[in-house]
Structure 1
Amino acid sequence: MRRCIAGLLFFATAFALVAGGCARREDGPSQVTLTLACWEGPEGLASLTKLLDRYRAQNPHVRIEIQQVPGSQYYQRLQIQFAAGVAPDIMQMAYDRLPSFAHRNTLHPLDELIERDGFPVNEMFPQLLPALRYRGKFYGLPRGWTTFVLYYNRDMFREAGVPFPREGWTWDDFLTACKKVTKDLDGDGRPDRFGCDAPTQMDGIAFWIWQNGGRLFTPDMSRSLIDSPEAIEAVQFLADCQYKHGVFPTPEQAQDLGGGGEMFRSGRQAMFIQGRWACLNFRGATYPDGRLLDWDVAPLPMKKEKATVLFANCYVLRKDGPNLEEAWKLMKFLTGYEGQRHQARTGRDMPSFVRVAESPDFLDPAQPPDSDRVFLDVARYARPLEVDASTSTVSEMMMEEIAQIFTARKDVRKALSSLARRIDRVQQEAREREHGGQ
């Protein structure tokens, strides 16, 4: 009898322990699966996975499925997913793409969440904040961002007897340096080492126009100013660098030599204008003869005013997604202080928080460039592109027309006048659609 009672007590105790354990699990967070879309390549994906592993360790109830899509297909894939109602919970998105998705009411506005949880956007670089908003509302928080600077080859500048670029140097100084470092290395009568290269993207043209006192659009973006005297003069300066002075490679020459980044890396180009991510390509780079590439960064040249462009890659949330609160919690981790410190150590981006940017996580004296602070110093006059829901279409138009200038020697004034008319038509059609017009 005592054995029977003891047995019953044992099973009762065991049941209570199991039941208690189950109750405790039920009291904890429910299991949830989040989908995260990204365009990362192998190195970026490994870095993101490492960061997400830390998040999973802190939040074991969360399972994260990464949807990795190549950059060339990324936004088309997102559009299909939104149309089918199966968009990811959280997505990477370049800031200039953000308005087109927010305009379709597919992204979740973040202002209430930011205010409710006290997310410290006020501790970010203030120049960055306009890039995260559309029509006054926050839709994205930065994975990282960058200002554009001038990368330059110190060996070539020393060889040519040219002073290194510095704050306040001018377009004339830039052209003089380009002329002195451009050389015919093989004696065939044509240069095969160049000063710099012509821009092909919208952001690569914009800062030259800004430096000359111009703009791409009117403040309300109702009309293009790409055909203004300031814009024409800026683009003509670049076209002259290529065809009149011969210090930029032609598109054919650039293609033969691997393009701007590869030309700089291999010692065929003395200067290269790009964002922070280019550092990873040049650290440890060597010339064909095995010598280490000696390079640094400097502010862009100026004319009437100092200006550079900034670029931000963001995380955004699906509008009213089924896992909105958990997705927001993950977003805060990725874009908050821990995520920004992690991203800063990769060397690919500038961290969005001033405190992290000023720390050794970003300013690492053991890694080139020596003048790392330039990325931060030029932030005070950096600007995002003027963007709206039509920006992707406008950007493609601009690339087409600018290419005609630098490949077919199309007259700059005629090309920009044609481009302005095309852009204005696109903007007008967008306004008519928004207001119910046909």
Structure 2
Amino acid sequence: MAFLVERSPRRIILCAVLLTLLCLLGTKPVCVAREVQVVVSGSIAKQLEGSWGGFEEKTGIKVKPIVLGNWFDVMEKLPVMVIGGLAPDVIYHDSATQADLYHKGVLQPIEHYVNRDKINLKMWPEPIINAYRYAGELYSLPTAVSNWVTFYNKDKFHAAGLDDLPTDWNGDAFTYEDLISIARKLTRDINSDGQVDEFAISGFFASGSVQGIHLWGADWYDADQTEFIGNSPQTLAAITELRRLREAGVVGGNWLQGTAAMMTEQPYYLNTLATTMTGSGGLFSWAVGILPKAVGRWAHPGFHSIGVRRFQSGRGMGVHQVYDDRSRGFRKLRPGRKQNTCLTPGHRGLQPPLGGF
């Protein structure tokens, strides 16, 4: 998917979102809402406009986006909206937002809708779907996934007599030990003044390499994200291994400026890279390789997803009572159209917005 994003990032995002929405819609000719409210971060809202239009064209269901400033605003404001009974029907969220909303009780499980509409979960890799499960329950479906890869400067690799990095994620080539060995060859003191001029790698994952522990099968929290396990022997051993890279003096510099030969990043960086290379006429030859393998070749990807908010009023009313009241109110406003109007998600078993949900 990384190379597809390089060619047309906007088109890929729109197609992925539209595909997910249509999968969730199902094929049964049932009564559905004529308008769906979707909360979305302002950081991605513009790119999704084509998806909303495509969904409306395919289904006749209008999508009304409710734009909140950024992902942090989604995490802070959406729970308050749900408690007040003012929340939208559908939530477009990223990976960090998902965990926060789940633990705040904002998302509802969707497995029964997936089974009802016979959505084939095998269209996504199993580890991706498992990332949406908490205590065995499925809470969202993916629209886009961005895994970690290694960007590298081919010119510097070849000048050091090194081969290109492998691209077979399931192979055994390019281990963590290989990374350290390669990094030492790429780190250079060009002026012989005792100071490194060119580093091997500008950064190994983000935020001080906190994601790097996954290469050893370690994690910071348990599977249900209820217990901190960062002080477990497995995680401490992974941290010790990560320190070897720093202590070797090979981490530093800036990959895009040519003072580092490698960089681990997610494929969305291709957008930045394409813009920079085009504007400068091309800085250097580059390529993308896999991550090094320690115990495994595992990483914590970023992903965008669609989930459904938990139906509750926050005022002590039962779910059915809330939707009965809303339905009656709507019918008063739209007399004579009761037969083909179902505006209340979850109301008496009618199909909720976006079908499969």
Tell me which residue corresponds to 1:95: 95
Structure 1 residue 328 corresponds to structure 2 residue 319: no
* Counterparts of 1:46 and 1:314, CA distance in 2: 16
Determine the C-alpha separation between the residues in 2 that align with 1:73 and 1:293: 39
Q: Which residue pairs with 1:232 in the alignment?
A: 236
Secondary structure of 2:164's partner? coil
Q: How far did residue 185 of structure 1 move?
A: 5.7
Change (3 A) 1:240 1:111: closer
2:267 pairs with 1:268: no
- For 2:197 and 2:92, how far apart are their aligned partners in 1? 39
Is 1:241 aligned to 2:241, yes or no? no
Cα deviation code 1:82-106 (max 9, x no counterpart): 2332222211223344344334432
C-alpha change, 1:63 and 1:164, in structure 2 (3 Å) is closer
- Which of 39, 54, 79 lines up with 1:37 in the alignment? 39
> Contact between 1:94 and 1:312, CA under 8 Å: does it hold in 2?
yes
Aligned to 2:179: 174
List aligned pairs for 1:212-231, cutoff 5 A.
Answer: 212=216, 214-216=218-220, 224-231=228-235
**Which structure carries more relative contact order (alpha carbon 8 Å, separation 6+)?**
2
In the comparison of the two structures, how many residue pairs are matched?
287
Percent of aligned pairs with the same amino acid: 19
Contact 1:99 1:134 in 2 (8 A): no
Deviation at 1:280, TM superposition (A): 2.1
Superposition deviation, residue 278 in structure 1: 1.9
State TM-score, norm by structure 2: 0.68
1:271-293 deviations in Å (ceiling 9; x for gaps): 12222222222235339964344
Among 270, 274, 277, the alignment partner of 2:268 is 277
Q: What are the ranges of 5 or more consecutive residues in structure 2 without an aligned counterpart?
A: 1-29, 313-343
Structure 1: tracts of 5 or more residues without a match: 1-27, 255-262, 333-438
Q: 1:195 maps to what in 2?
A: 200
- Is the 1:34–1:323 contact (alpha carbons within 8 Å) kept by the matching residues of 2? no
Change (3 A) 1:98 1:214: closer
SS of the residue corresponding to residue 143 of structure 1 reads strand
Letter in 1 for 2:38: L
Name the TM-score, length of structure 1 as normaliser. 0.57
Distance 1:274 1:143 in 2: 20
Superposition RMSD on alpha carbons, in Å? 3.3
When Rg is computed on C-alpha atoms for both structures, the one with the higher figure is 1
2:32–2:353 CA contact under 8 A, matched in 1: no
Cα distance change on mapping 1:45 and 1:139 into 2, 3 Å: same
2:146 partner SS: strand
- Per-residue Cα deviation, 1:301-346 (whole angstroms, up to 9, x for no partner): 12333333333321111223744545323x77xxxxxxxxxxxxxx
Give the corresponding residue for 1:139. Answer: 139
Deviates more, 1:268-277 or 1:135-144: 268-277
Give 1:141 deviation, angstroms. Answer: 0.9
Return the letter of the residue paired with 2:256. Answer: R
* Separation (CA, whole Å) in 2 of partners of 1:221 and 1:306: 22
Q: What amino acid sits opposite 1:328 in the alignment?
A: L
1:331-377 CA distances to partner (integer Å, 9 max, x unpaired)? 77xxxxxxxxxxxxxxxxxxxxxxxxxxxxxxxxxxxxxxxxxxxxx
